[in-house]
Amino acid sequence: MNILAMDTSNQVLAVAIQRDNKVVGEIVTNLAKNHSVRLMPAIDQLMKEVNMKPEQLEKIIVAKGPGSYTGVRIGLATAKSMAWALNIPVIGVSSLEVLAYQGRFFNGVICPFFDARRGLVYTGCYRWDNNTMKLIRKEENFAMDDLLEELSSLNQPVLFLSPDIAIHQEQIKAVLDDLAVIPEEPDHLLRGVHLIAAAKGKQPEPTHTLRPNYLRLAEAETKWLEKNKGC
């Protein structure tokens, strides 16, 4: 099966193509540039490199968040538009689950997270079990202080994965000490190949009803709801 995977949910832009169960191409960049002007050129470039045309695609996989509100929307809009135009299925996958795949084979708790500002993170916990990534703590927008206290009480190794690791590394080490496992920088970046892996076994969703997984409302939406409460 020919599969196109894309992720623009955070600063990393990742695109991958799988042909007949073999990943034949991948593009990953970690640049503070606008995904809206870079995603389609990256897809076009990669498809030319692997000698594949859009009409040969049979499935599209997209990271549906959490992460940047704008980034998530760009990825979803592109994936849904292509799936609709080509009349092929589309699968949305949690960006946290995709990141967790960087820690596959780790014997312990895997904690991917994205910084959500004001002491909060988007996070969930996973465990690699029987060649499957299993969610063991629900994904939510959560206070980092409370998360670390909760993980510390487990008294077992925890692998932390995040493109924002530098923001929280000192705090993580202060609370969990040697129980905190923090790998080198490349392991904190989402990859398209892991997006494909995370989608295995998941069912496609109706193209027009596939929704973002923000985990919280945008600030503007929150203020609007507060202002119009009781209306």
> What tokens appear for 57 in the block?
């695609």
Give the pLDDT confidence of 213-225 residue by residue, as tens digits.
Answer: 999 754 444 443 3
Look up tokens 């993980």; give the residue.
151
For 69, the token pair is: 């509100």
Beta-bridge partner residues of 5: 16, 61
The Cα 16–Cα 5 span in angstroms is 5
Pair 64, 7: CB distance under 8 Å:
no
Say whether pLDDT at 187 is over 70. yes
Q: Which residue has the higher pLDDT, 227 or 10?
A: 10
What is the pLDDT, as a whole number, of residue 177?
Answer: 98
CA angle 74, 220, 169 (to 5 degrees): 70
Task: Kindly state the helix (H) or strand (E) to which residue 123 belongs, with its residue range.
Answer: strand 120-129
Is the four-CA dihedral 50, 52, 56, 60 of positive or negative sign? positive
> Which pair of tokens denotes residue 105?
């084979």
Position 221 scores a pLDDT of: 43
Looking at this protein, which amino acid is placed at residue 209? T
pLDDT at 57: 98
pLDDT for 169 equals: 98
With 50 as the cut, is the pLDDT of residue 203 above it? yes
- pLDDT tens per residue across span 100-151: 999 999 999 999 999 999 999 999 999 999 999 999 999 999 999 999 999 9
State residue 227's pLDDT score.
52
Q: Which pLDDT score is estimated for 216?
A: 75
Task: Give the Cβ contact number of residue 69 at 10 Å.
Answer: 18
